[in-house]
Structure 1
Amino acid sequence: MSKNITRRSFLRCAMRATAVACLPQAIYAGVKMPAVSVKDLSLYNLHTEEKIALSYFENGAYVTEALRDISYLLRDFRTGDILAMDPHLIDFLYDLKGVLGTERPFQIISGYRSPKTNAYLRKRGGGVAKKSFHMQGKAVDIRVEGIDSKVIRSAALSLGRGGVGHYPRSNFVHIDTGRVRSW
């Protein structure tokens, strides 16, 4: 078998690769893609003004220290309480980042909420759920500077997982790892 590449075989291969790259993303929906070896995120907590940029998944495993750092940043800023955030929520953010095609940090409006904070917010009104996923470390409210919240909502919905809520007046999107639903 010859290892020499002819001009014709090179052009044929290049044309096929170009054609495949132009196919709509939906065609790839059923195709198993290779596992990502590194997953990274950049987060900015609007209340504490803390920012992190880190890899939370490397070589097929979650990085425990990075998950701790994320959970700390997403803590209840009112009480200081910390809960380990659901890694599936962190993956949701990572995948959302990919769909949005941005490296800008997610601005965090709300991550973990203690029962005390959740009760306080419920009393103030504003549609806070009694059994909020925020209290389980399974929800986050976000925005991304320079990206309309409608675009973030559409991108989150395209992933077909968890809850996605859009709050246009407050300019943020809620995502969680509960059942698939939207509002």
Structure 2
Amino acid sequence: MLIPKFLNQNLSETELVHSRRRFLKAGLGACTLLTLPLAATSVHAAFKRPFEKKLSFLNLHTGERTRATYWANGRYIPEGMRAINHVLRDHRTGDRYKIDPELFDILHLLQRKLGTNQEFHVISAYRSPATNAKLAEQNGGVAKNSMHTHGRAIDIRLPSRRLSDLRTVAMSLQAGGVGYYPSSNFIHLDTGDFRFWGG
């Protein structure tokens, strides 16, 4: 057996055996200490539930509901996105559009800040250009090139929360546009530059 030089210095057989044992124990102890953080991390990773982002919606015009996981394990989930896009379609024409995932992230962050997972009541989400043009004719407050027509805006409320509180928290995110429409009982959110209006 190979004996380290510092152990082989005129020691008796008994002392040599004891020194050898101390040396091996110290080595094993060091190895154990080195592997503990990795072992702890592995156990933690094995039992830690993967982070998911879920959203729930009720379309007030169609009565349709969905609760879908749209993001998990570091990626957007196509099936969840499709389920949400279906409920957020233009209810007047049936046209669907791929909603900007950033809008979902804003809504999810809004829910987390509010400490709720209640479904959003949807007044308007995607609007086809034809629908938007018709609404713009009827109402001067509808933008001709609305972000709704690009799948980048949604008008919502949360029944359990005051609209003013919803607006305050949405503005605190400083992520996109926040419109406040108390007379119609909804706020507008979009993925444009941070700005706000209404009151």
Partner letter of residue 116 of structure 2?
A: T
CA-CA distance at 1:93 after TM superposition:
0.6
Aligned to 2:106: 92
> Is residue 170 of structure 1 aligned with residue 195 of structure 2?
no
Q: What is the DSSP-based 3-state SS (H/G/I as helix, E as strand, rest coil) of the residue aligned with 1:40?
A: strand
Aligned to 1:20: none
Give the counterpart of 1:134 among 132, 148, 154. Answer: 148
Give the counterpart of 1:149 among 163, 174, 198. Answer: 163
Partner letter of residue 72 of structure 1?
A: H
Q: Greater share of helix residues, 1 or 2?
A: 2
Which stretches in structure 2 are left out of the alignment for 5+ residues? Answer: 1-28, 30-49
Cα distance in 1 for residues equivalent to 2:140 and 2:180: 13
Check conservation: 2:68, 2:83, Cα contact below 8 A: no
Q: Map 1:53-132 to 2 at 5 A.
A: 53-132=67-146
Aligned-residue CA RMSD (Å): 1.2
Cα distance in 2 for residues equivalent to 1:73 and 1:102: 20
Cα distance in 1 for residues equivalent to 2:113 and 2:60: 23
Aligned to 1:11: none
The structure that has the greater radius of gyration is: 2
Aligned to 2:174: 160
Which stretches in structure 1 are left out of the alignment for 5+ residues? Answer: 2-35
TM-score of the superposition, structure 2-length normalised? 0.73
Give the paired residue count: 149
Q: Deviations over 1:114-139 (max 9, x none)?
A: 00000111111150011100000000
TM-score of the superposition, structure 1-length normalised? 0.79
Q: Which contiguous aligned blocks of 4+ residues in structure 1 show a shift greater than 6 angstroms?
A: none
